Amino acid sequence: MRMRIFGAVTAASLLAICSALTGQPVAGSAPASSAPRSFPLGPTSSLAFAGISIALPKDLTPEPATDESSLFRLVDKAGEQTVLAVTLTVMPVKATATVDSLLRATDPTASLNFSNVKELRRQNLQVAGLQGRVQLLSYTCRKLDLTAVRLAMARPVGQSGMQMGYILTVEALSGHGREILPLLASMAASIGLSDPVSLRQDKVELAPMAISADRWGIGFRPPAYWKCQSSADQTLIVCYQMDYTVNQPGARATLAVRQAPAGSVDEILQKFMDELQADVEKHKINVKVVRQGQAGMGELPGRETVIAHYDEQGKLTDAMDHRMVVRGGLLYTLEVLYVGDSIDAAQRTMQTLAEGVKFSVPTAPASAAPAAPEAGPGGPPPGGATSTSAPASAAATPPAGR
């Protein structure tokens, strides 16, 4: 079988180099007589907002990325145990940054949970016309032996004086080490790089897997590659994404579940819209209602309000699309907020997300949900997405056993 080649190095040659360096098979390798599993790639995904296109293993399962530098995390599991993980870390860096400084800045072994850390090899590699660097590591984490291969790349962005840094990592438990290099090789061969585009110019697609809040009878498919967190009681799901053209959070989507106040569906929704209108009028200097009317969520009818925020100079700072529906004594609200001149982006994304909502029979009574707030939902302050309680930056989500 013919190996795919990236640059002047194949996965097979990297494996041979590392074995020769250490005098033994790569840590966690299966016996030579046992052929490693292959992970066929799906079609190339264009992630224009991050300036990268890449083909991903189609048989791995996506998991939510919770820190702002992780673009995606895909895993292969045996039962409940993650045995292999693929992550892509993306970050704007200074023009003086090097691929070695990228590797240091994202070193996954800086945690106290790691021991027996060994760098087996660093190898220059041509990827998408750039000089990248491959690093092969072995270590122990919480009594688990792992092997990881990391590919670092940095690409200048136009005349901005900055670069986009990328770290593609494939990490595996003992017994799966021979699989990581062929997988990284095939993914690296598919990579294309370009200048990132503004998040509000990027068309949102839904993630393949829904975040389910079974207690409240709702399933929510977040935007693909956005970072998401869910409250312990499943009443709040917050997702956001970075705008890499300005290096700050550029959009946020929030799904909340509350007890519905007393009254008919129309009365409840009208009350909230009246309170929202009053809140808007209170801030009429910098807040404008763009639209109010009927709009649904999933198969349910509801109400929609679109709000725009302006600064003192009259410049549009952000836009929010807010929808609500009532069902079985529960009030469901979905908000989408974009920073910048973004009314169209907020409305487009809301329509996509609302169509992807699925309702089911709740497993908990409506009385168990938090009470709805007295005041209307209102709008966030100007620049709202930049002031949200988005998940704090952290080390990339670890693979098995971390």
Statement: residue 194 has pLDDT above 90: yes
pLDDT at position 285 is 64
What is the residue-averaged pLDDT of the chain?
81
Which range, of 28-32, 87-91, 289-293, averages the lowest pLDDT? 28-32
Measured distance CA(379)–CA(282) in Å, rounded = 11
Closest CA to 138 of 181, 97, 102, 195: 181
Q: Which CATH number fits domain 200-387: 3.40.1000.10, 1.20.1050.10, 3.30.559.30, 2.60.40.3670?
A: 3.40.1000.10
Residues paired with residue 152 on neighbouring β-strands, in sequence order: 133, 167
Q: Cα–chain-centroid distance for residue 121?
A: 30
pLDDT at position 390 is 30
Contact 177, 29 (CB under 8 A): yes
Statement: residue 215 has pLDDT above 80: yes
DSSP conformational letter for 399? -
Rounded percentage of the chain residues whose pLDDT exceeds 90: 47
pLDDT at position 35 is 64
pTM, to two decimals: 0.78
Per-residue pLDDT of 331-342, as tens digits, reads 999 999 999 888
pLDDT at position 396 is 30
pLDDT at position 359 is 97
pLDDT at position 34 is 57
Contact 51, 376 (CB under 8 A): no
Contact 215, 362 (CB under 8 A): yes
Report the pLDDT averaged over residues 46-59.
Answer: 94
Give just the sign of the alpha carbon dihedral 70, 11, 85, 44.
positive
pLDDT at position 169 is 93
Residue 184 tokens read as 């990284």
Statement: residue 401 has pLDDT above 50: no
- 5-197 matches 200-387 in fold: yes
Domain assignments of the chain as residue spans, ordered by start = 5-197, 200-387
Report the pLDDT averaged over residues 80-101.
Answer: 91
What does CATH list as the number for 5-197?
3.40.1000.10
